[in-house]
Chains A and B, each alone.
Chain A
Amino acid sequence: MSSLSSIAARNVARNRRRSLVTLAAVLLGVTAVLVLRGFIDGFVRLMVDDIVQGKTGALQIHTAGYLDSSDALPLDPSIPYDDSVLARVRAVPGVTGVTGRIQFSGLVSNGVSQTMFVGRALDLVTEKQAVPRAGFDVLPGGRTLAGGDHAHAILGNELAQSFHAVTPAEKAKAAGAEGVVDRVTLASSSPKGRANSLDVSVEGLSVSSLPFENKRVVTVPLKLAQELLGMEGRVTELAVAVDDLRNLERIAADLRKELGPRYEVHTWQELQPFVRDIISRQSFVMGLISVILFIIILTGIINTMLMSVFERVREIGTMLAVGMRRKQVLTMFLVEATLLGVLGGVGGVLLGSAIVRGIAARGIPMSMVVNSGSQSVLRPELNPAFMGLTLAVAVVGALAAAAWPAWRASRLDPVEALRSV
């Protein structure tokens, strides 16, 4: 067996060009799959981070039936925002933070024109407990809202642009420019229909990868929204942070049990079906590309092995003639294929992870990719399990691809084989 392996190894080394082509096919295929997967994983991580750590939180609590009519942003029924409710949420094991919000709609105007907006009112004292990266979406030149703010707002950047709304500092710079404002009026109405309006100053502009958020969203302090809507001491939404996203379903179930039928608890995947769809679409595309790449790898190996069988008919004849068993011939060819698969696979894993690590170390600013001014940095990442799988598929694939040529070689008639040219 060991002599068989060394013959196989020498065969691989002897047919240098052919082996190199196969090695290259396996190596490039594995590298490509790893790098692609690295980018997609990095991108998914980025989106999940933005959403879980910066926007929705890991879990959200609403009154029962809220999500079914969430497009209408209903204000009624609302959730009492007091210590007893918060204590009940915090008591659930795995919950690390909770904050209250109001999602509402209304008309925003700059005195000249008006348009619909979607208001996000945040309790700025506790917001960071539930979404540690809150405020990450505020563009440079503005500031994030803080605990003491009241009549202050962050506007979606496209909304601000269309309104000629800028931060007070920018307005001072553009002194005298026609129609530039640093204050806007938010008008909305109470759950019972009482109209109200309040002026807020523009403290910053926010950017999002979701176009709707750039055009529509206005972020304000919770107290301001409660005053505007006549909802003192109430919220429409509680955002919850958890210690480990892998425990998400368990914690959600515990919260449901704790809060009872009057409330509903949703995970970020349920709250952001858009993102969930993007992720599942990406993994589908990823799977498709992987399959194509593997087919390319396999055809390379089949090709090489078939060629070595056809080119080495006389050689095989000789080996059979000097007493080599058909089984041994079969094994020899399979070992050759395994060698190629392992070498190419390991090389590909090394090269691929080196590329991924290199890019991850530098990071790719998302502003370059989506041209949105986003502050996030894309860092492709390696998934050890996926690396192992890729390596295994490369080796097993190489073996499978060599099976038929090897079998053919072992079935040759020595007399015929020796005679062939």
Chain B
Amino acid sequence: MRAFTLALMTLLVAAPALAAEPTAEELLAKYDAVMGPHTFETESEMTAYREDGSSRTYVMKLLRGEDDKFRVWFKGPASVKGQEMLRSGDNMWVYLPNLKRATRIANRDSFQGGDFNNADVMRVNYTKDYTAKMVTSEVPDTYALELKAKNAETAYDSIKLWLRKKDAMPVKGEYYGTSGQMLRSAEFTEYTEFEKGYTRPAKVVMRNELVKARRSEMVLKGMKLNVEAPAQRFTQADLGR
């Protein structure tokens, strides 16, 4: 009897997953699990291409702790070496080594002058901030999600995401302001299995839709899941150490 109940429950829980069409919430949860796993550490490079034809590559290490905590350490180029960023809940700071001081930054502020904003890099989980709705996708073999902000604090008013049907990997995204004008668009490529059973796009190209000549590329060189992330690393006092 007991075994039967267990089997029934398993079936009930697993049933929606077996269904052909996942719900919008499930897809968004999957997106969050791919783009922002529980705790992780990455080595990445961001190259910002400017409208004047110049470009600049930033080398950084990113650590995600529990409960929406992030740390970023910049290793290059020389002009930003030693800079650090911290996110704890809704607050973000940048630490400037020559001033030895942390300054508050906002979601919307540009991440190192590129086309990602701080939220794009350090606020990667959408379930908390947005409600998702399934819409018909014009891209073959994808689901399209329309995300609408739940509160006034989010960086974007709405987001459109396209996820692959076969594994729910993100393909592209479009980011809109309150007026409905597209501000940024993203393309996700180079799907890489960083750890067994964990695959994610290693490259994200963020295009500035207001200034077409501008784009920034984020490339993940390596990623480790479930790393040690002690809480004291995510305090202002730890910046610069």
Taking Cβ atoms with an 8 Å cutoff, the residues of A that contact B are: 107, 109, 111-114, 185, 187, 189-190, 192-199, 227-228, 230
Contacting A194 at CB < 8 Å: which of B155, B181, B210, B211?
A: B155
A227: chain B residues within 8 A (beta carbon): 178-179
Q: When A112-B51, A113-B51, A192-B152 are in contact, do A230 and B178 touch as well, CB less than 8 Å? A: yes
B211 engages A193 (CB within 8 Å): no
A196 engages B155 (CB within 8 Å): no
A195 engages B211 (CB within 8 Å): no
Q: Closest residue to B157 on the A side, CB-wise?
A: A194
C-alpha spacing A197/B178, complex, angstroms: 8
A228 engages B179 (CB within 8 Å): yes
B213 engages A230 (CB within 8 Å): no
A193 engages B178 (CB within 8 Å): no
C-alpha spacing A185/B175, complex, angstroms: 16
Q: When A112-B51, A227-B179 are in contact, do A194 and B212 touch as well, CB less than 8 Å? A: no
B152 engages A230 (CB within 8 Å): yes
B153 engages A193 (CB within 8 Å): yes
B157: chain A residues within 8 A (beta carbon): 194-196
Q: When A190-B152, A194-B157 are in contact, do A185 and B181 touch as well, CB less than 8 Å? A: yes
B155 engages A197 (CB within 8 Å): no
Q: Closest residue to B109 on the A side, CB-wise?
A: A193
The 10 closest A-B pairs by CB, nearest first: A196-B177, A196-B178, A192-B152, A113-B51, A109-B210, A189-B108, A114-B211, A193-B107, A109-B211, A197-B181
B152: chain A residues within 8 A (beta carbon): 190, 192, 194, 230
B51: chain A residues within 8 A (beta carbon): 112-114
B211: chain A residues within 8 A (beta carbon): 109, 111-114
Interface size class of B (residues with CB under 8 A): 20 to 34
Q: When A109-B210, A112-B51, A114-B211 are in contact, do A193 and B177 touch as well, CB less than 8 Å? A: no
A195 engages B155 (CB within 8 Å): yes
B229 at the interface (CB under 8 A from A): no
B178 engages A113 (CB within 8 Å): no
Contacting B181 at CB < 8 Å: which of A190, A193, A199?
A: A199
B39: chain A residues within 8 A (beta carbon): none
Q: When A109-B210, A112-B51, A187-B210 are in contact, do A192 and B153 touch as well, CB less than 8 Å? A: yes
B149 at the interface (CB under 8 A from A): yes
B189 at the interface (CB under 8 A from A): no
B154 engages A194 (CB within 8 Å): yes
B107: chain A residues within 8 A (beta carbon): 193
Q: When A113-B51, A114-B51, A190-B152 are in contact, do A196 and B212 touch as well, CB less than 8 Å? A: no
Q: When A109-B211, A112-B211, A187-B177 are in contact, do A197 and B183 touch as well, CB less than 8 Å? A: yes
A195 engages B117 (CB within 8 Å): yes
B95 at the interface (CB under 8 A from A): no
Q: Which of B106, B153, B178, B181 counts the most chain A CB atoms within 10 A?
A: B178
Instruction: Return the CB mask of B194-225 against A: 1 if under 8 Å, else 0.
Output: 00000000000000101111100000000000
**11 new A-B pairs (CB below 8 Å) besides A111-B211, A196-B157, A197-B181?**
A112-B212, A112-B213, A113-B213, A114-B210, A185-B210, A193-B106, A193-B108, A194-B154, A194-B156, A199-B181, A230-B178
C-alpha spacing A114/B178, complex, angstroms: 20
C-alpha spacing A257/B153, complex, angstroms: 35
Q: Closest residue to A199 on the B side, CB-wise?
A: B181
A109: chain B residues within 8 A (beta carbon): 210-211
Shortest B160–chain A CB gap in Å is 15
Q: When A112-B211, A112-B213, A114-B210 are in contact, do A194 and B106 touch as well, CB less than 8 Å? A: no
Q: Which of A114, A192, A195, A196 counts the most chain B CB atoms within 10 A?
A: A195
C-alpha spacing A382/B117, complex, angstroms: 58
B156: chain A residues within 8 A (beta carbon): 194-195
C-alpha spacing A228/B177, complex, angstroms: 9
Instruction: Return the CB mask of B155-189 against A: 1 if under 8 Å, else 0.
Output: 11100000000000000000101110101000000
Q: Closest residue to B117 on the A side, CB-wise?
A: A195
C-alpha spacing A109/B211, complex, angstroms: 6
Q: When A112-B51, A113-B213, A185-B210 are in contact, do A198 and B181 touch as well, CB less than 8 Å? A: yes
C-alpha spacing A228/B180, complex, angstroms: 11
A113: chain B residues within 8 A (beta carbon): 51-52, 211, 213
B154: chain A residues within 8 A (beta carbon): 193-194
Q: Closest residue to B119 on the A side, CB-wise?
A: A193
Q: Closest residue to B151 on the A side, CB-wise?
A: A192
Can you pick out 10 interface pairs between chain A and chain B where the beta carbons lie within 8 Å of each other? A114-B214, A192-B152, A193-B107, A193-B153, A194-B152, A194-B178, A197-B181, A197-B183, A198-B181, A230-B152
Shortest B206–chain A CB gap in Å is 13
Shortest B224–chain A CB gap in Å is 31
A198 engages B155 (CB within 8 Å): no
B212: chain A residues within 8 A (beta carbon): 111-112
C-alpha spacing A284/B181, complex, angstroms: 54
Q: When A190-B178, A227-B179 are in contact, do A195 and B108 touch as well, CB less than 8 Å? A: yes
Q: Closest residue to A191 on the B side, CB-wise?
A: B152
Q: Closest residue to B110 on the A side, CB-wise?
A: A107
Shortest A184–chain B CB gap in Å is 10
Q: Which of B108, B152, B155, B213 counts the most chain A CB atoms within 10 A?
A: B108
A197 engages B179 (CB within 8 Å): yes
B183: chain A residues within 8 A (beta carbon): 187, 195, 197
Shortest A194–chain B CB gap in Å is 6
C-alpha spacing A109/B52, complex, angstroms: 14
Shortest B187–chain A CB gap in Å is 19
Q: When A109-B211, A114-B210, A114-B211 are in contact, do A194 and B108 touch as well, CB less than 8 Å? A: yes
C-alpha spacing A227/B183, complex, angstroms: 16
Shortest B156–chain A CB gap in Å is 6
C-alpha spacing A209/B89, complex, angstroms: 46
Q: Closest residue to A184 on the B side, CB-wise?
A: B210
A111: chain B residues within 8 A (beta carbon): 210-212
Q: Closest residue to A192 on the B side, CB-wise?
A: B152
Q: When A187-B183, A190-B152, A228-B179 are in contact, do A197 and B108 touch as well, CB less than 8 Å? A: no
Shortest A23–chain B CB gap in Å is 66
A194 engages B179 (CB within 8 Å): no
